[in-house]
Amino acid sequence: MSVLGTMPEGLICRPIEKADWQGVIDCLRRGFPDRSRQYWQNALGRIDDMPVVGDFPRYGYLLDHAGTVVGAMLTLYFRHTDAHGESIRCNLSSWTVDTDFRAYAGKLIMAALRQRDVTFLSVTPAPVTRKVVEALRFKRFADGQHAFLPVLSPVRARSRVVKVHADASELLQLPEHERRILLEHTALGCDALMCIIDGSVHPFVFKARRVLKGFVPASQVIYCRSHSDLSQCAGALGRYLLRRGKIFCLVDARAPVPGLVGRYFAEIGPKYFKGPNLPAPGDLAFTEFALFNE
């Protein structure tokens, strides 16, 4: 895919509007034939439900050739809060361009990258897309994934796990942005949990997915404060998940995670960012991993 080239007559790059949904879905189906029309309809619906962030595009960008959508890239903008304050992130997702217009694919991503104060994420890059994002000086924040069996980790004394719900008293011990993460991801169908150790509350979000060509069920870590926090609570979380038939977990990492019983797989699912704020491995909150159903 080229990121250069003058646009030919009749081809324009512009933000996606709601009226474009069916044309965008047709384009996405051509680019990702293993995904159903309903999958993309649901994905756009989930994006539509997210709060609008400033003046940024609500859905993403498209390439329009004489009224036909020939390229699309979805953009998931969200406000991120951590110890350093609030910033804006954008998950660039589902980037595809029809073969005859592939030379202009870079116009989609360049349209988004003009926004210098945003941290952009690419969390499911295809092999060909990796080459493009690396050429655009995206850097990795995760080089692979650590697969682990949390039930094999020791359980800390005086620990328990609570499923998140709006009336859970333990939520009051968390900062507002973590309460929002837990409650909104619960609404998205994720497993939002709190591990309480000696009265201290540790928040986590997991999302069910299938790996190894869809044959193996797993729980992807969508949010944890840190790998050390995950390791500290892994035993208690594992026993909670085991009672619900969930055994196998995955977390993004740059190396094997101390304290997790399993194996690190380098170059499996690397994740990239570009912008002012380095994301933490293990934080996929409000990205396509949480919003889109498999």
CA distance 36 to 39: 5
Q: How confident is the model at residue 82 (pLDDT cuts 50, 70, 90)?
A: confident
CA 24 to chain centre: 20
Dihedral sign, CA of 187, 188, 194, 195? positive
Please give the structure tokens belonging to residue 275.
């912008």
Task: Report which secondary-structure segment, H or E, holds 106.
Answer: helix 106-113
Distance in angstroms (rounded) separating the CA atoms of residues 221 and 225: 11
- Position 243 scores a pLDDT of 94
Average pLDDT of span 185-212: 94
Q: How far apart are CA 137 and CA 247, in angstroms?
A: 37
Q: In what order do the strands lie in the sheet with 216-224?
A: 11-15, 60-65, 68-82, 85-97, 118-122, 262-274, 139-148, 249-253, 216-224, 200-211, 191-197, 159-163
CATH T-level fold of 11-117: Aminopeptidase (3.40.630)
Pair 101, 65: CB distance under 8 Å? yes
Question: Looking at this protein, which amino acid is placed at residue 122?
Answer: S
* 160-194 pLDDT tens trace: 999 999 999 999 999 999 999 999 999 999 999 99
**Whole-model pTM?**
0.92
Q: By three-state DSSP, how is residue 78 classified?
A: strand
Helix axes 127-135, 106-113, angle to 10 degrees: 50
**Span 204-220, mean pLDDT?**
87
Topology classification of domain 145-270+279-291: Aminopeptidase (3.40.630)
pLDDT of 292 > 50? The answer is: yes
Distances (CA, A) of 220 to 78, 136, 206: 20, 28, 5
Cβ-based neighbour number of residue 227 at 10 Å: 23
pLDDT at 238 over 90: yes
> Euclidean distance between the first and final Cα of the chain, in Å?
26
Q: Please state, rounded to an integer, the average pLDDT across all residues of the chain.
A: 93
Same-fold call for 11-117 versus 145-270+279-291: yes
- The domain ranges of the chain are 11-117, 145-270+279-291
The string of pLDDT tens digits covering residues 148-166 is 999 999 998 889 999 999 9
* DSSP string across 125-147: --HHHHHHHHHTT-EEEEEEEEE
Question: With bands split at pLDDT 50, 70 and 90, how would you rate the model's confidence at 1?
Answer: very low
